[in-house]
C-alpha cells in the first residue's frame, strides 16, 4: 500500500479533519505539515466539505518542497531535495491523487527552514510538553516564524503529526537553543598561572550565580604571557541579561572575557 497516494490512506487521514470539526466549534484555520500530501489533503477535504470558510495552510520543509512547482504546473514535479531535520515530510514528488486534493482543498502552501523547525521542536517540548519530530513540528514552526498568520477570530490549529525523533538529535537541538537564548555561554579568559589563580575566577563566577558545566586550561596559546594560562568555560545561566551581568562581573574582577 502506498504511504500517501492511496484513497484508503487519504480517507483514514481525513479522520483528523472530522475530529477537528467535532472538538473545535469555532475552528477558523488549520495549519498542517505536507510531505506526500495524504494527511493535508484528507484533513482539508473533510474540513472544507463541512465548513468551506475554514482556511487550510500546508507547510513543507524548505529543503525539500515540491508542491510549489507542482501546483504551478498542475502536475507532480519532482525536486532533488536535500537533507532536512524534517525527514518525515521530505518527499521529492507529490502523488497524483494527493496533488489534486491539495490543489482543490488547501488554500495555501508555505515553507519553513530547519532553524525554524528546530526552534519549534524545542518550544513544543519545553512549553507544550509534546515530543515532536521535525516533520511534526513544521506547522508550529510556520506560526512561530511568521510564515503563517493565525486567524484574527476563531481558533487556529497547528497539527503536530509525529514524535519519532532521535534522542541525540533532540539533545543537540536543546543545547543549541540554550546557547542561542543565552542560557549556555562559552567564555574564554586568562588567569595568573600560580596556585589559587583559578580559584579566584571560579569565586567570581559563583558569586554571579552562574554554573560551570565544562572547564579547560589551554596552555598552547602563543599570545599568552608566560605568567598566565588560558581558561575556557561553558557556563549555565538564566538568559541573555544574566550573561551580560556575568561578563561585567568578570571584567570588574580583572578576568576580561
Identify whether 257 is part of a domain.
no
Q: Are residues 59 and 100 in the same domain?
A: yes
Residue 67 lies in a domain: yes
Residue 19 confidence (pLDDT): 98
Same domain, 140 and 14: yes
- pLDDT band at residue 87 using 50, 70 and 90 as cut-offs: very high
Q: What is the pLDDT of residue 194?
A: 86
The span from the CA of 102 to the CA of 116, in Å, is 23
**Number of structural domains the chain divides into:** 2
Average pLDDT, the chain: 94
Asked whether residue 100 falls in the same domain as residue 51, the answer is: yes
Look up the pTM and report it: 0.83
| Model confidence band, residue 53 (pLDDT cutoffs 50, 70, 90) | very high
CATH at 194: 3.30.70.260
* Alpha-carbon 221 to chain mean position: 37
Residues 75 and 90 in one domain: yes
* Integer angstrom CA distances of residue 190 from 86, 119, 160, 251: 42, 34, 47, 11
Q: Are 11 and 119 members of one domain?
A: yes
Q: What is the mean pLDDT of residues 50-74?
A: 96
Residues 196 and 215 occupy one common structural domain: yes
pLDDT at 132: 96
Q: Which domain holds residue 150?
A: 7-177
| Judgement on whether residues 56 and 153 belong to the same structural domain of the protein | yes
CA–CA dist 51, 70 (Å, integer): 26
Average pLDDT, integer, range 182-192: 91
Residue 125 sits at φ, ψ, to 5 deg, of: -70, -45
pLDDT for 228 equals 85
Average pLDDT of the residues in 209-218: 93
* Edge-to-edge order in the sheet of strand 211-216: 184-192, 228-236, 211-216
* Residue at which a domain ends, from 124, 157, 177: 177
For the segment 162-185, the average pLDDT, to the nearest whole number, is 90
Which of the listed residues 111, 146, 177 is the one where a domain comes to its end? 177
**Domain of 89: which CATH number?**
3.40.50.1100
**Residue 131's pLDDT band (cuts 50, 70, 90):** very high
Asked if residue 128 and residue 41 are part of one domain, the reply reads yes
pLDDT tens-digit profile of 190-212? 898 888 889 999 999 999 999 99
* 202, burial (CB in 10 Å: exposed 0-12, middle 13-18, buried 19+): middle
**pLDDT number for residue 76:** 95
Instruction: Give the percent of the chain with pLDDT over 90.
Output: 84
**149 & 229 share domain:** no
Amino acid at each position: 500500500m502506498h504511504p500517501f497516494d492511496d484513497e484508503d490512506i487519504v480517507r483514514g487521514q481525513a479522520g483528523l479533519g472530522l475530529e477537528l470539526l467535532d472538538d473545535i466549534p469555532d475552528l477558523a484555520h488549520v495549519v498542517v505539515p505536507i510531505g506526500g500530501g495524504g494527511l493535508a489533503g484528507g484533513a482539508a477535504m473533510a474540513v472544507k466539505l463541512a465548513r468551506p470558510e475554514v482556511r487550510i495552510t500546508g507547510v513543507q520543509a524548505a529543503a525539500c518542497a515540491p508542491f510549489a512547482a507542482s501546483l504551478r504546473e498542475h502536475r507532480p514535479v519532482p525536486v532533488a531535495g536535500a537533507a532536512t531535520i524534517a525527514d518525515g515530510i521530505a518527499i521529492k514528488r507529490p502523488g497524483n491523487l494527493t496533488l489534486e486534493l491539495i490543489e482543490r482543498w488547501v488554500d495555501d502552501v508555505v515553507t519553513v527552514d530547519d532553524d525554524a523547525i528546530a526552534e519549534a521542536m524545542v518550544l513544543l517540548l519545553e512549553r507544550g510538553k509534546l515530543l515532536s519530530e521535525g516533520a511534526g513540528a513544521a506547522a508550529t514552526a510556520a506560526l512561530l516564524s511568521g510564515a503563517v498568520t493565525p486567524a484574527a477570530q476563531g481558533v487556529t490549529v497547528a497539527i503536530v503529526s509525529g514524535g519519532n525523533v532521535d534522542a541525540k538529535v533532540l539533545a543537540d537541538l536543546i543545547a543549541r537553543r540554550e546557547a542561542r537564548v543565552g542560557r549556555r555561554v562559552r567564555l574564554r579568559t586568562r588567569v595568573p598561572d600560580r596556585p589559587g589563580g583559578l580559584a579566584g575566577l571560579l569565586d567570581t563566577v559563583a558569586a554571579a550565580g552562574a554554573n560551570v558545566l565544562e572547564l579547560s586550561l589551554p596552555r598552547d596559546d602563543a599570545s599568552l604571557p608566560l605568567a598566565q594560562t588560558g581558561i575556557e568555560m561553558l557556563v549555565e545561566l538564566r538568559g541573555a541579561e544574566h550573561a551580560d551581568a556575568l561578563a561585567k562581573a568578570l571584567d570588574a574582577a580583572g578576568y576580561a572575557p
